[in-house]
Every structure is written in structure tokens, then in C-alpha cells.
């Protein structure tokens, strides 16, 4: 059995050019038996690169999570469309993921991050979206953090809350966390927070 690697583009059309850009591709690709598919029509939301961070204080054993209204959750009739999340945003042109999460942490939660620990790179919805996520855990001092933040000119109304790690992890079991990057980040922290705290404090 071969490992397919080839894709042929037979057509490309931008069908939506608003804030969310959508492209329709006509493609063929190799199959596992060595043959090729027929021409396939696939629509992709061209989201680009996103980055997210879970701020973690290794001294106080606390994390910072934000809460904000999410129109997608509301549109899906989710009971509580104000979601508890990591800090995240779109990586702008000329900006690295690391620079972006530090900027967003200041804007959305008043956090000044120092060290960043990579957690994962992944695609959020690869069947229909190009969005690639760079996910980090960031060192922060949670003293005095919390409150409502965000850029008024972008209509942001974001509440930042400091949580003991044990309480944040408990939300995984109660269903309060329903955002994929936050699920991944907290599940990662559950298995790494002790060794990460030791690593960061040893290098402090």
C-alpha cells in the first residue's frame, strides 16, 4: 500500500471574500491503491494561522482563563454561549505565534507572559478549514490579575479569571470547557504542570 502524496488542482474560485474567506477547489488526489479520485469539489474557509496560550503561574499554581460571548456557540443553540477559553487570536502578517500570544494576553487578560512552552500544533477543522493552531503554555504572575478586558474598538468584552489548577482541571469533568484548544491545553497541563513548574522555577 502506497502513502498518497499528490494533489492536482483543476480549478479554484473565491466564493466569499468577507471577514471569513471561502474558496471552492476542484481537485483530484492520489488514493491508497495508487489510483486517483475523480474531480472533487471542496469548499475551504481560509482562516490562516491562529495561536493560543494558557497562562500558568508556577509559584501560585494558578491559571488564567477568559470568558466571552461566541456567536458560533449561540448560533448552534448552545445553552451558554459565553465560553471559558484560553487566550487566542489570529497571527498577523509579519508576526510570530509567540509574539501574537504575548500581545493577546495583554489585550484580553492584562497578562505579561515571560517564558512560553509549546504544547501542540494542530488543525482545528481540517475537513473544511485551513486554520492551524499553535498552542502554548505561558509563564505568568497571577498576582492582581482578573477583571474585564478587551479592545473596545473591536467590540470585545472579555472577563479574565484566575483559577487554582485543581479547579480549572475539574471543569474538564463538568463539561464547562467546550472549546477544543482549552480542552487540549488543560488536558496537557494535567500531566505536565508539576514538571513544568519545577523546570521554570529551577531556571528562575
* Cα–Cα distance measured from residue 177 to residue 203, given in angstroms and rounded to the nearest whole number: 32
Instruction: Look up the domain containing 97 and give its range.
Output: 49-202
* CB environment 77-98: b (16+ within 10 A), e (fewer): eeeeeebbbbbbbebeeeeebb
pLDDT reported for residue 150: 83
User: What's the CATH code of the domain at 192?
Assistant: 3.90.79.10
| 29 and 62 within one domain | no
Q: pLDDT > 70: what percent of the chain?
A: 99
Q: What is the mean pLDDT of residues 83-96?
A: 95
| 78 and 162 within one domain | yes
Q: Grid cell 489548577 — which residue? A: 165
| 129 and 33 within one domain | no
Residue 1 has pLDDT above 70, yes or no: no
* Cα–Cα distance measured from residue 139 to residue 200, given in angstroms and rounded to the nearest whole number: 8
pLDDT reported for residue 155: 82
Angle at CA 67, nearest 5°, toward 120 and 194? 45
Model pTM greater than 0.85?
yes
Residue 204 has pLDDT above 70, yes or no: no
| 115 and 126 within one domain | yes
Catalytic residue set: 154
| 103 and 18 within one domain | no
**Average model confidence (pLDDT) across the chain:** 94
| 198 and 114 within one domain | yes
Task: Estimate to the nearest angstrom the gap between the alpha carbon of 11 and the chain centroid.
Answer: 31
What is the three-state SS of 126-151?
Answer: CCCECCEEEEEEEECCCCCCCEEECC
Amino acid at each position: 500500500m502506497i502513502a498518497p502524496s499528490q494533489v492536482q488542482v483543476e480549478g479554484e474560485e473565491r466564493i466569499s471574500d468577507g471577514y471569513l474567506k471561502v474558496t471552492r477547489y476542484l481537485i483530484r488526489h492520489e488514493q491508497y491503491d495508487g489510483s486517483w479520485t475523480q474531480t472533487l469539489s471542496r469548499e475551504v474557509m481560509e482562516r490562516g494561522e491562529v495561536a493560543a496560550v494558557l497562562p500558568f503561574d508556577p509559584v501560585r499554581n494558578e491559571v488564567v482563563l477568559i470568558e466571552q460571548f461566541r456567536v458560533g456557540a449561540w448560533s448552534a443553540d448552545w445553552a451558554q454561549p459565553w465560553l471559558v477559553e484560553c487566550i487566542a487570536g489570529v497571527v498577523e502578517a509579519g508576526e510570530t505565534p509567540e509574539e501574537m500570544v504575548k500581545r493577546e494576553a495583554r489585550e484580553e487578560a492584562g497578562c505579561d507572559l515571560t517564558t512560553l512552552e509549546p504544547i501542540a500544533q494542530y488543525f482545528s477543522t481540517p475537513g473544511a478549514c485551513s486554520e492551524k493552531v499553535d498552542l502554548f503554555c505561558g509563564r505568568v504572575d497571577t498576582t492582581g490579575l482578573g477583571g474585564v478586558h478587551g479592545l473596545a474598538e473591536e467590540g470585545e468584552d472579555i472577563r479574565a479569571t484566575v483559577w487554582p489548577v485543581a479547579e480549572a482541571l475539574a471543569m474538564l469533568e463538568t463539561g464547562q470547557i467546550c472549546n477544543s484548544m482549552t480542552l487540549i491545553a488543560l488536558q496537557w497541563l494535567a500531566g505536565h504542570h508539576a514538571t513544568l513548574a519545577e523546570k521554570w522555577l529551577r531556571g528562575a
